[in-house]
């Protein structure tokens, strides 16, 4: 199997190294062809941005390992269409330092790398650790991913990627739970700094994020010590709200035609 590893924390992230190490330990160095193509620095919060103007620099870091000047989505695009001689069978993005729960995936570069792979018809999994506090326990989640490569590929299709979050805990063999994304409430604020020459600089700040505690959500699962597996559909459909717009804008006589 050809596996591409990427992330949004950068080429030197310990979470990325943990996945690479787990793959080699679980399968042996010669079982899978592992590529690492990741940003040359942190790209957290860059969502699914891509580079449309200007080049993307690729710097070789080792055998089948490259650091790119672009975004996480750029890394997948450049890897598949440029650097790699063969299309990967699976893309693993992460392990991210901190959670990507619920609506976090809108902003997450970790999720974006997996989403981009799914757009390109490649099975993809985003991996995140559910805490920002040291010490980080990447190994249990990395080993979980390594053990289930074949299952990830067998269940994949071009309509979704898999978003996995795990507790930041050294305990092994945690039970997985199939979940749905929660709703995250961001208590953001902007803090300003006035420079001597009159320019004003703004910094995003805020209090801790609140999450709904709906049963079987990804947040609920991680808080209860489970590994959360959320299939994220690329083309979400919410028929209830569509019907409300039809009633407001479309004449009754045309409803059956839409």
pLDDT single digits (tens) 147-197: 999 999 999 998 999 999 999 999 888 999 999 998 777 677 888 889 999
**Quick check: is 188 in a domain?**
no
Side-chain half-sphere exposure of 38, counting CA atoms within 13 A: 33
At 207, the pLDDT band (50, 70, 90 cuts) reads low
**Quick check: is 39 in a domain?**
yes
pLDDT at residue 243 greater than cutoff 60: yes
pLDDT at residue 250 greater than cutoff 90: no
**Which pLDDT value is given to residue 162?**
97
Domain count across the chain = 1
**Which pLDDT value is given to residue 247?**
82
At 208, the pLDDT band (50, 70, 90 cuts) reads low
pLDDT for 29-45, tens place per residue? 778 999 999 999 999 88
CATH number at residue 85: 3.40.1210.10
CB of 202 closer than 8 Å to CB of 192: yes
pLDDT at residue 219 greater than cutoff 80: yes
The percentage of the chain sitting over the pLDDT mark of 70, rounded to a whole number, equals 92
Stated pTM of the model? 0.90
**Which pLDDT value is given to residue 239?**
66
**Which pLDDT value is given to residue 23?**
96
Q: How far is CA 30 from CA 26, 93, 150, 154, in A?
A: 11, 21, 16, 21
Furthest C-alpha separation in the chain? 65
pLDDT at residue 257 greater than cutoff 60: no
**Quick check: is 197 in a domain?**
no
**Quick check: is 196 in a domain?**
no
**Which pLDDT value is given to residue 186?**
66
**Quick check: is 203 in a domain?**
no
The percentage of the chain sitting over the pLDDT mark of 90, rounded to a whole number, equals 70
- Give the residue-averaged pLDDT of 88-113: 95
**Quick check: is 190 in a domain?**
no
- Give the residue-averaged pLDDT of 222-227: 94
CB of 32 closer than 8 Å to CB of 4: no
Range of the domain at 238: 2-183+211-257
**Quick check: is 204 in a domain?**
no
Dihedral angle over CA of 226, 179, 128, 237, nearest 10: 180
pLDDT at residue 244 greater than cutoff 70: yes
């Amino acid at each position: 199997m050809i596996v591409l590893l990427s992330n949004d924390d950068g080429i030197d992230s310990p979470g990325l190294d943990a996945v690479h190490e787990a793959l080699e330990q679980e399968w042996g160095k010669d079982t899978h062809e592992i590529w690492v193509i990741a940003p040359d620095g942190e790209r957290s919060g860059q969502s699914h941005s891509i580079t449309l103007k200007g080049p993307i620099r690729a710097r070789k870091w080792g055998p089948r390992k490259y650091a790119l000047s672009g975004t996480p989505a750029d890394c997948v695009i450049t890897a598949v269409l440029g650097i790699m001689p063969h299309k990967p069978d699976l893309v693993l993005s992460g392990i991210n330092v901190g959670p990507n729960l619920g609506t976090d995936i809108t902003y997450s570069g970790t999720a974006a790398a997996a989403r981009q792979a799914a757009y390109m018809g490649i099975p993809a999994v985003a991996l995140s650790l559910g805490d920002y506090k040291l010490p980080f326990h990447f190994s249990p989640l990395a080993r979980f991913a390594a053990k289930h490569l074949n299952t990830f590929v067998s269940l994949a299709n071009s309509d979704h990627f898999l978003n996995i979050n795990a507790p930041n805990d050294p305990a092994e063999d945690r039970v997985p739970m199939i979940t749905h994304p929660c709703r995250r409430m961001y208590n953001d604020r902007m803090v300003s700094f006035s420079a001597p020459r009159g320019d004003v600089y703004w910094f995003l700040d805020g209090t801790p994020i609140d999450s709904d505690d709906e049963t079987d959500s990804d947040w609920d699962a991680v808080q209860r010590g489970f590994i959360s597996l959320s299939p994220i559909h690329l083309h979400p459909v919410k028929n209830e709200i569509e019907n409300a717009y039809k009633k407001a804008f479309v004449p009754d006589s045309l409803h059956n035609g839409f």
